[in-house]
Amino acid sequence: MTDPATRRHVEINDGDQTVAAAEVTTFPQPNATVLASLHAASGHIAPGRRASLVDAVMDLPEVQQSTHLRAVVPLGDTESLWRLRERTEDAATRPAGATALVDADIPRAKTATAQSAVSESSEP
């Protein structure tokens, strides 16, 4: 039996160095949950790089087609945690050792929502 999950590796680079990366697993079922593990390189990372990683993960088409996200983020990575809260709905965060576990809903794509609002308003 083949594994129906799709695994993606996402990286944010600064020059030739990878400064943040994520492993993302998505599933083809309706109302699926996305699993993501985000991590950053040690040392100083320019502000915005961790948020860019969250954006890259959340903008994956497979993620946009899912309804729920479960993410693992290093506990002190406040930039990623805040950006996840901005990009998701009903986010719940709890510590687990040296990481934070985030459970959140993925909002529907804005274009789909805007299109359905236009369709609904044009009906007699």
pLDDT in tens, 43-97: 889 999 999 999 999 999 999 999 999 999 999 899 999 999 999 999 999 999 9
**Inter-residue contact 83 to 49 (CB < 8 Å):** no
pLDDT in tens, 44-54: 899 999 999 99
* 52 vs 72: CA distance, rounded Å: 16
* 43 vs 51: CA distance, rounded Å: 16
For the chain, list the domains and their CATH numbers. 6-121 (3.40.630.30)
Residue 4's pLDDT band (cuts 50, 70, 90): confident
Neighbours of 100 (CB within 10 A): 21
* 99 vs 75: CA distance, rounded Å: 4
